[in-house]
Amino acid sequence: AGTFSASSLGIEPQPIQVRLFVEDYFPGRERVYSPVYTFYVLNPEQHAIWVTEMLSKWHRQSLEVRDREMALHETNKALRELSPSELDQPDNRKRIETQAAAERANGRRLSNLALNGEDLVKQAMRNPEIGVGHLEKWAEMLNILKDISGNRMPSVADLLKQAAQAPKTASNSESPSNKAPKAGENRASAAGSPSDPDPNDKEKKPPTKVPSIVDVESTNGFAKKDDKDSPAAAPSKSGSPRLTLPNTTLIGPPKKGDDSCPADQKVEEAVKEQQDLLAEFEKIADELNKVLANLEGSTLVKRLKAESRLQYKIGGRIGDQVGDAFGLPANAAKETTTKLFTELAGQETKSSQTISNIMDDLQAYFERRRMMSFKAVLDDMRSQDVIGGLRQLGDDLKKENGLSMAQCEFWSDAMDRWAEDLVDPTKGGT
């Protein structure tokens, strides 16, 4: 067994392709090669840039989950506006079931996203270039997201599922009653007596029961639920109806509702819980946005610092060779020196492209954050035409060695100064 270690092998930071092979003891048998694997050997600055890019991608995915939750919330609010009879329709019950399943799926997506975020934070903790303050804040937000995905979103899904399975409301249209007529006075008006029968209703069936005379008295309190001494609680004897003496009764306590809430109440609870959930999610999104902004700003600083060190290194390598090539025509220099200058010219061309990307990121960062220091640095880089200067440096490097060395030192100092000008907006963990 073997282990690939870039540091032990002295490999510089770069993409590298690795292929494994095995040999058989059987004579004459050829090697068997594995597929080619690509490894990216990174220094701390490059690793910090990679981590920031991964966190930015993770942040965009979390915003997609939030947007999906907001869309589900709007649909739930539309369901809440329906009447109970409309909620009892099979199509709407099916919509509620679909909402519950979508809510649970979105919760699982957020849970997986939180786990991926934890892995990224663990990766970032290995790099001393990334501020600890940023990572602690990010870890706190991840814990809140785990609570939302593990508890609050499943609770909303459960409420919606209960709403989909809730019993349907009873129909208000009842068959005409066949009650016996009553005579007497009802004084319990505060408790809400039933409305008097309509005298014009000719379709009502004639009473078949014996008439009775009953007075209903009002009361400030209600009788106990299980008052066995009450005459009303006594079971009636079976037999044919008969005419009795006048009775006086008291209004009884109201019946307690069933524990199972109708569908509209469950939908209302789900909408309220989801509204609180989204408010918490919005706060987390704002906090993560600030942390990511600081990380992006510090990444721009590190990228400019890295390019500054590269220019200084190129200038040093030119200085090492300038003694052998100084004053000689281009075709009179040694072959090794010519190859070196060609390589350095290629590095300058690549550096000009890297600086162009940094300037594009600076422009995008300024448009999002509106930090004037970034705008000032960007304007200074444009006024000095750093991209054109580096391209010209790559062209002149083979012909003007001494001038090229001075130009490398100039651009190294300029990039370092630009990086320093970006430090203040990114403090607090950088």
Edge-first strand order for the sheet with 212-217 is 182-183, 212-217, 247-250
CA distances from 62 to 51, 156, 259, 310, 417 (A): 16, 19, 38, 36, 36
Segment 13-24 mean pLDDT: 88
pLDDT at 417 over 60: yes
Give first-to-last CA distance, the chain, whole Å.
40
Cβ-based neighbours of 76, under 8 Å, separated by 6 or more: 99, 160, 267, 270, 271, 274
Q: What is the pLDDT of residue 300?
A: 86
Comparison of pLDDT for 333 and 107, the residue scoring more: 107
Comparison of pLDDT for 126 and 223, the residue scoring more: 126
Domains of the chain, residue spans: 6-40, 44-167+262-284, 300-426
Q: What is the pLDDT of residue 244?
A: 67
Q: How many Cβ atoms are within 10 Å of 168's Cβ, its own excluded?
A: 13
Q: What is the pLDDT of residues 23-36, one digit of tens each?
A: 888 888 899 999 99
Per-range mean pLDDT, top range of 151-155, 337-341, 393-397: 151-155
Q: What is the pLDDT of residue 212?
A: 63
Q: What is the pLDDT of residue 75?
A: 93
Segment 292-305 mean pLDDT: 83
In 209-334, which ranges are continuous DSSP H helix? 263-325
Q: How many Cβ atoms are within 10 Å of 294's Cβ, its own excluded?
A: 21
CA distances from 393 to 3, 29, 315, 382, 429 (A): 41, 53, 11, 17, 36
DSSP 137-181: HHHHHHHHHHHIIIIIHHHHHHHHHHHHHSPPPPPS--PPP-PPP
Q: What is the pLDDT of residues 302-352, one digit of tens each?
A: 889 889 999 999 888 888 876 665 555 656 556 777 788 888 888 888 999
Comparison of pLDDT for 416 and 196, the residue scoring more: 416
Question: What is the pLDDT confidence band of residue 156, given thresholds at 50, 70 and 90?
Answer: very high
Percent of the chain residues past pLDDT 70, beyond the cut: 73
Q: What is the pLDDT of residue 203?
A: 53
pLDDT at 102 over 90: yes
User: Parallel, antiparallel, or unpaired: how do β-strands 212-217 and 182-183 relate?
Assistant: parallel
Tokens of 423: 């430090």
Segment 407-419 mean pLDDT: 92
CA distances from 255 to 78, 225, 228 (A): 32, 9, 17
Lowest-pLDDT range of 120-129, 318-327, 365-374, 413-422? 318-327
Segment 410-428 mean pLDDT: 78
Measure the CA–CA gap between 54 and 117, rounded to whole angstroms: 9
pLDDT at 227 over 70: no
pLDDT at 269 over 60: yes
Q: What is the pLDDT of residue 115?
A: 94
pLDDT at 293 over 50: yes
Average pLDDT over all residues of the chain: 79
Q: Is the CB of residue 38 less than 8 Å from the CB of residue 26?
A: no
